[in-house]
Amino acid sequence: MGLLSDPVRRRALARLVLRLNAPLCVLSYLAGLAWFLALAFPPLTQRTYMSENAMGSTMVEEQFAGGDRARAFARDFAAQRRKSGALPVAWLERTMRSVGLEVYAQRFSRRLPFPDETHERYMVSGTNVYGILRAPRAASTESLVLTVPCGSDSTNSQAVGLLLALAAHFRGQIYWAKDIIFLVTEHDLLGTEAWLEAYHDVNVTGMQSSPLQGRAGAIQAAVALELSSDMVTSLDVAVEGLNGQLPNLDLLNLFQTFCQKGGLLCTLQGKLQPQDWTSLDGPLQGLQMLLLMVLRQASGRPHGSHGLFLRYRVEALTLRGINSFRQYKYDLVAVGKALEGMFRKLNHLLERLHQSFFFYLLPALSRFVSIGLYMPAAGFLLLVLGLKALELWMQLHEAGVGLEEPRGSPGPSVPLPPAQGVGLASLVAPLLISQAMGLALYVLPVLGQHVAAQHFPVAEAEAVVLTLLAIYAAGLALPHNTHRTAAGLHRPHQLLTGLPAGRHYGARCCARQASWVPDPLCCLAGADKPGSHTPWQPVPVAGTAGGATVTGRGLAAFPGSAGPGCAGASHLRCPALPTAVPGPLPLLAAFLECALLEVRSACPGHQAGTETCQGPHFDSFQGNKQVSVSAAI
């Protein structure tokens, strides 16, 4: 970094950065966007491949043939469920025992923060039933999980039937090296979370549940199954978990392998796989799926009960049977064979799934974008912030240098706008902003409601409110010129841009203050005539009433709590800026200070008060000081 240590070259570089900053920012932002959109195109997407050697080399021959059995179980389950109105626990226990599993049940209850939508109740209680297939000659150190969440709306009876038929088939095999847990949970995610918490003996969500009697060691992988029809046209796979967590890519590869082997139609994000990657169509479809995946991850919500497993470092995914109007359909045997193959391969695992990617984006089931390729896009977007910060810092430094070498040109970094341009230029921005706001207000609520209702767990009415809130929050991020001028405060961006070091705006601010609140006491002790200082001239700062000149560094110029009267208080409103030492830390402190002061002065009582500097006012002033000091430290 000799380039930056050499003051001359450094200055040249700084000028370059300062001059080209805005184009650089725009360029970087555009580059980020372009890179992201290019991710779906073949040089950046790669074909998926199986990394885990324990699952790659051996092919298994699936022998599951219990389709009729699965349908019979599903019919019985549905009938029992209708009869009891809840999960038929006794029937499940009996059936699981009859197929040779060790059966346990877990009761749980949870008080919801909001009443649930269908039943309008706060207290939810249910029962999870699970059966463990014990692997012979294994000490129950590792296990796999096949889970079927049974919610109030989705019956999933076919999934339960298939689970039981698979359990019966698996029980007759001798090759298992890991225990297999067949888990049927009630209340979808609630039940799954209750079971997982009890299994790992933690309590993070305040769930009340009975302890688990049966365990089977560390869970290596889990598959959640949702199936509500005897025939399926396709299997949809969901990978997005809680807070956008993803399972290891090898698990998805495994599923894809068996999809291809069994000739199953598999979809991702509910969409068919793009086939033709040579023309433009394939990548465009891929881009759509990739964006959908990013959106789903951003929602933070688990898309299936597998999402909760990921939090416990259990690789998991959800398979959903889709029954649409296609002609060619598959029965439960095909799905069962795919599951059998997956479990047998997972059974071969010697270690946890760790060989393949944990961070990836999927433009299709058979293609992925690795983290090394999508991070540059995020990097370009973040570079804008870095460039902006660099610019601010360099301006500060440039200004400092400029003072040390007086060149006769006062404040070259703050070019005064030409007097004629003021009228038009200042009109353009507000006009543009207000037009854009109007457009946004016209378009965004409907659009936002659509998107939110589709991808986030909110009702439509909530979506409208949330969208409005979002627009308001976005509005807060816009420039605050008008607001701050009205509040009679300095402008923070003026504090930063083109600030000559060694000066500060005490006087100027004081002048403003005086013109706004006509109270001479609130001016600085050293500046009893408000008009006597021009805004751009350095003023000695009077720290205390005694008039001692403090040319201290940064926050040292602040009067202590000993500063009597309003002098101290009003001085504090216009914080001294770093004089001798240009550096990021005092700058930060000043920033914080301004924000705090702004909040404080926006308080109506303070504005309307006569600045008597007593009682709560003084208290808050002290509080401010403490905060700023701690920030400076």
Partner 1 sequence: MAAAMPLALFVLLLLGPSGWCLADPQRDSLREELVITPLPSGDVAATFQFRTRWDSELQREGVSHYRLFPKALGQLISKYSLRELHLSFTQGFWRTRYWGPPFLQAPSGAELWVWFQDTVTDVDKSWKELSNVLSGIFCASLNFIDSTNTVTPTASFKPLGLANDTDHYFLRYAVLPREVVCTENLTPWKKLLPCSSKAGLSVLLKADRLFHTSYHSQAVHIRPVCRNARCTSISWELRQTLSVVFDAFITGQGKKDWSLFRMFSRTLTEPCPLASESRVYVDITNYNQDNETLEVNPPPTTTYQDVILGTRKTYAIYDLLDTAMINNSRNLNIQLKWKRPPENGYIHYQPAQDRLQPHLLEMLIQLPANSVTKVSIQFERALLKWTEYTPDPNHGFYVSPSVLSALVPSMVAANPVDWEESPLFNSLFPVSDGSNYFVRLYTEPLLVNLPTPDFSMPYNVICLTCTVVAVCYGSFYNLLTRTFHIEEPRTGGLAKRLANLIRRIRGVPPL
Q: How far is the CB of 14 from partner 1 (least distance, A)?
A: 12
Q: Which of 23, 113, 136, 605 binds partner 1 (CB under 8 A)?
A: 136
Q: Which of 19, 82, 83, 354 binds partner 1 (CB under 8 A)?
A: 354
Q: How far is the CB of 113 from partner 1 (least distance, A)?
A: 30
Contact 611, 519 (CB under 8 A): yes
Token pair for 194: 């209750």
Footprint on residues 387-426 left by partner 1 (CB under 8 A): none
Contact 330, 272 (CB under 8 A): no
Question: Which one of the spans 80-88, 114-122, 129-137, 374-382 is the region binding partner 1 (CB under 8 A)?
Answer: 129-137
Contact 62, 340 (CB under 8 A): yes
Token pair for 257: 């392998």
Residues 6 or more apart in contact with residue 256 via CB below 8 angstroms: 48, 266, 365, 366
Q: Which of 140, 228, 288, 323 binds partner 1 (CB under 8 A)?
A: 140
Q: Indicate whether 311 belongs to the interface with partner 1 (CB under 8 A).
A: no
Q: Which of 138, 468, 471, 517 binds partner 1 (CB under 8 A)?
A: 138
Q: Indicate whether 102 belongs to the interface with partner 1 (CB under 8 A).
A: yes
Q: Indicate whether 37 belongs to the interface with partner 1 (CB under 8 A).
A: no
Q: Which of 200, 352, 388, 553 binds partner 1 (CB under 8 A)?
A: 352
d(C-alpha 533, C-alpha 114), whole Å:
60
Closest CA to 297 of 320, 269, 321, 256: 269
Q: Please give the size of the binding site for partner 1, defined by CB under 8 A.
A: 33
Counting Cβ atoms within 10 Å, is residue 294 exposed (0-12), middle (13-18) or buried (19+)? Answer: middle
On the CB side of 239, CA atoms within 13 Å amount to 27
**How far are the Cα atoms of 28, 369, 371 from residue 287, in angstroms, in the given order?**
21, 11, 16
Q: Which of 27, 31, 91, 134 binds partner 1 (CB under 8 A)?
A: 134
3-state helix/strand/coil string of 17-70: HHHHHHHHHHHHHHHHHHHHHHCCCCCCCEECCCCCHHHHCCCCCCCCCCHHHH
Q: How far is the CB of 213 from partner 1 (least distance, A)?
A: 8
Nearer to partner 1, 406 or 604 (CB): 406
Which ranges of 85-116 does DSSP label H, i.e. alpha helix? 89-98
Footprint on residues 173-202 left by partner 1 (CB under 8 A): 174, 201
In DSSP terms, 271 is beta-bridged to 268
Q: Indicate whether 142 belongs to the interface with partner 1 (CB under 8 A).
A: yes
Q: Indicate whether 313 belongs to the interface with partner 1 (CB under 8 A).
A: yes
Q: How far is the CB of 141 from partner 1 (least distance, A)?
A: 4
Q: How far is the CB of 585 from partner 1 (least distance, A)?
A: 9
Looking at residue 243, the DSSP 8-state letter turns out to be G
- Order of strands across the sheet that contains 179-186: 208-209, 102-111, 123-133, 179-186, 142-150, 218-226, 315-322, 234-238, 266-268
**Coil vs helix vs strand at 122:** coil
Closest CA to 597 of 480, 487, 479, 504: 487
Nearer to partner 1, 570 or 579 (CB): 579
Q: Indicate whether 141 belongs to the interface with partner 1 (CB under 8 A).
A: yes
The mark string for 563-602 relative to partner 1 (x by CB under 8 A, - otherwise) is ------------------xxxx------------------
Nearer to partner 1, 33 or 378 (CB): 378
Closest CA to 452 of 440, 468, 436, 463: 463
Nearer to partner 1, 488 or 502 (CB): 502
Q: Indicate whether 4 belongs to the interface with partner 1 (CB under 8 A).
A: yes
Q: Indicate whether 5 belongs to the interface with partner 1 (CB under 8 A).
A: yes
Q: How far is the CB of 534 from partner 1 (least distance, A)?
A: 27
Q: How far is the CB of 100 from partner 1 (least distance, A)?
A: 4
Residues listed for the chain: 633
Nearer to partner 1, 179 or 236 (CB): 179
Footprint on residues 209-228 left by partner 1 (CB under 8 A): 213-214, 217-218
Q: Which of 27, 37, 154, 171 binds partner 1 (CB under 8 A)?
A: 171
Q: Which of 117, 120, 153, 351 binds partner 1 (CB under 8 A)?
A: 351
Where along the sequence are the contacts to partner 1 (CB under 8 A)?
Answer: 1, 4-5, 7, 10, 100, 102, 134, 136-142, 171-172, 174, 201, 213-214, 217-218, 313, 350-352, 354-355, 581-584
